[in-house]
Chains A and B, each alone.
Chain A
Amino acid sequence: ETGVTQSPTHLIKTRGQQVTLRCSSQSGHNTVSWYQQALGQGPQFIFQYYREEENGRGNFPPRFSGLQFPNYSSELNVNALELDDSALYLCASSSARDTPFATNEKLFFGSGTQLSVL
């Protein structure tokens, strides 16, 4: 069974640029969530994709967008990068039968992409 994989592992961008982060969900998982983890903080929910549609979003501006593909892999796109976007971006997958999740639905996380904005 293949776990959640994310690419790239590290990325350096300059302010104003655009970035795309990629995530392959664990085998058999149909739901992908993205989280932002700033230094010294816990992860914060960005959004979630289920059956190729966004079905929930945290307190992040529209310049954070995403996609989910038919094979359930996903992309996170961030436009007009700001210095505060520097963080570890975590992707998590799960095999929800339906949403909203049951309260005991476990998320399986990748190792993240460390984004630095200069």
Chain B
Amino acid sequence: AQKITQTQPGMFVQEKEAVTLDCTYDTSDQSYGLFWYKQPSSGEMIFLIYQGSYDEQNATEGRYSLNFQKARKSANLVISASQLGDSAMYFCAMREGQGETGANNLFFGTGTRLTVIP
């Protein structure tokens, strides 16, 4: 089973509007962390926001917020006031507490390509 599922291959948003990028995850661990990364065309993965499984409040980082619904195993990224520079690929990722590879690495979804329209 996929550990991270992103069902939106592509999304469009008008500049200055808000957009939600979906992410669901699958784990049997009680302790885990959820991340969102942005990948512009340059290729670099840029960290955006983190949510821990025990965090009671939804994480926020500037214009980014994470809508964390633990019972539904979803961790959607909300970008407010979209800017043209937000056009990029967005990846949801998870780190489990008990790493099955020995390194408790990040597992990534397939990504969502966001295009901001002027």
Compute how far the CA of A33 lies from the CA of B95 in the bound complex, rounded to whole angstroms: 13
A side interface size, CB within 8 A: 31
B45 touches A92 (CB 8 A): yes
Flag whether B1 is at the interface (Cβ < 8 A).
no
Total A-B pairs, Cβ < 8 A: 87
B33 touches A103 (CB 8 A): yes
Residues on B with C-beta less than 8 A from A103 are: 31-33, 52-53, 95-97, 104
Q: List 10 A-B contacts (CB under 8 A).
A: A45-B103, A47-B103, A56-B105, A99-B103, A100-B102, A100-B104, A109-B44, A109-B45, A110-B44, A111-B44
Q: Measuring CB to CB, which residues of chain A are less than 8 angstroms from any residue of chain B?
A: 33, 35, 40-45, 47-48, 55-58, 88, 90, 92, 99-101, 103-112, 114
Q: Measuring CB to CB, which residues of chain B are less than 8 angstroms from any residue of chain A?
A: 4, 31-33, 35, 37, 42-47, 50, 52-53, 91, 93, 95-99, 101-111
